[in-house]
Amino acid sequence: MNIILMQLDINIFVVVLLTIAYFYFNKNKRFDYTSVEHRLMVLFLTLNILIVLLGSLSYLCDTHFITNDVLCMTIYSIYYAFFWLPFYVCAMFIDYQIHSNLNRNSKLRHVLYIFIIINSILIVINIYTNIIFSYTDNSFIKGYFYSCYVIANYSILFIAFMEIIYKRKNMFSLLSVVLPPMICIISQVIYDNQSIIWISMAISNFLILFGFQEKNITFDYLTNAFNRRHLDSYLKNKIKTITPSSTFTGFMVDVDNFKHINDHYGHTRGDEALIAIVKIMRKSFKPNDFIARYAGDEFVIISEIDSHYDAQNAINMIKYELSIYNDTTNKDSNPLSVSIGYELYTYETKQEANQFIKCIDSKMYHNKKLKKRLYK
């Protein structure tokens, strides 16, 4: 009895924390309300609050505070109707973090609707057949298919876990989200203690929320490149820690005729162009190279490239990827092009971060002027 009462206290505390997190996340103007990530996070928080509340009601049945078998059966039926949803939404969030694909996320949403229908039918069938569970004489009784039903729901998280391991994208941050509930699921299977699962899911909620906070501080929300603030910090540290044997290269990339794109095709098309440029730069450089939005249509890349030959190859790769983009995705608009300036930074360079930025910015404008002369 005392354990269950303590669990109720913990659940109330978790619900209060999740509710505060919900309003903070949903009302904070720094977050992009229209993004898929934001919508999934809000849904994840809402479902977690709901499932913890339903779990608390089920504890009231277990303590015989609620003694009506029909009411308790109804509470448990609603609880298991929503039981799997937080796992699936968490898996959708992880999938979007890995693939960043709206079409893929839309397909997963349609699968979600199908699962909702199937699960609802199973719960209704269970009310009459007790194949999953029943509640009689103030006792919860597991049915023949209870274990299969629960394992099928838990397997959603394990599939997400395998996807993280296989794709190896944002691996450590995503594993920190999925591991707490997975550990608790294993504990539940061994010790039959379901009470800690939803607390662990609440932990996952907060880890995602902290991730959003960090992303808001360090990333540009439109392009998902690093922002100016993080660039300043990163470059200062890069210069501070340079050794006599190390070299890195800074690139300044500016989108040509960006004002023309905005004026003639609209700001939405301009946003799409900026997003496309960042994707192209990521294809052209190594995964660990640093890409930041410097200002408007200007981007800075800090790369481990240590020679003019490799720097020129990277520029050629950007141009090649741009030509593919213009021949396929961008057929109906003016071709996208960029002006690029770069410089190698060695131990002997001895420039401050702002001086180095001015240097590559100057070389970018020199490249832009050369192109204009050629076009004339």
Predicted TM-score (pTM) of the model is: 0.65
pLDDT-wise least confident of 3-17, 38-52, 57-71, 96-110 = 3-17
DSSP state for residue 252 in the 8-state scheme: E
Specify the CATH superfamily of domain 228-375: Reverse transcriptase/Diguanylate cyclase domain (3.30.70.270)
Q: Lowest mean pLDDT of 34-38, 300-304, 358-362, 368-372, name the range.
A: 34-38
Position 323 pLDDT exceeds 80: yes
The mean per-residue pLDDT over the stretch 97-112 comes to 84
Q: What is the average pLDDT across 329-341?
A: 81
Q: Supply the pLDDT for residue 150.
A: 85
Mean pLDDT across 43-60: 88
- Other beta carbons within 10 angstroms of residue 268's beta carbon come to 9
- The pLDDT of residue 331 is above 70: no
| Residue-range domain boundaries for the chain | 2-218, 228-375
**Token pair belonging to 40:** 């999934």
Check pLDDT > 60 for residue 1.
no
- Mean pLDDT throughout 183-190? 75
The helix/strand/coil state of 290 is strand
Q: Which amino acid is residue 78, in one-letter code?
A: I
What would the pLDDT profile of 264-292 be if each residue is shown by its tens digit? 878 888 888 899 999 999 999 998 899 99
Q: What is the pLDDT of residue 30?
A: 59
Q: Kindly list the strands in the beta sheet with 290-295, ordered across the sheet, starting from the edge strand earlier in the chain.
A: 290-295, 298-303, 248-255, 338-345
**Among 336, 376, 369, 353, residue whose Cα is nearest residue 302:** 353
CATH architecture of 2-218: Up-down Bundle (1.20)
Kindly report, residue by residue over 337-355, the tens digit of the pLDDT.
999 999 999 999 989 999 9
**Region class of 106: left (phi > 0), else alpha (psi between -120 and 50), else beta:** alpha
Rounded mean pLDDT, 16-35: 72
Whether 5 has a pLDDT exceeding 70, the answer reads: no
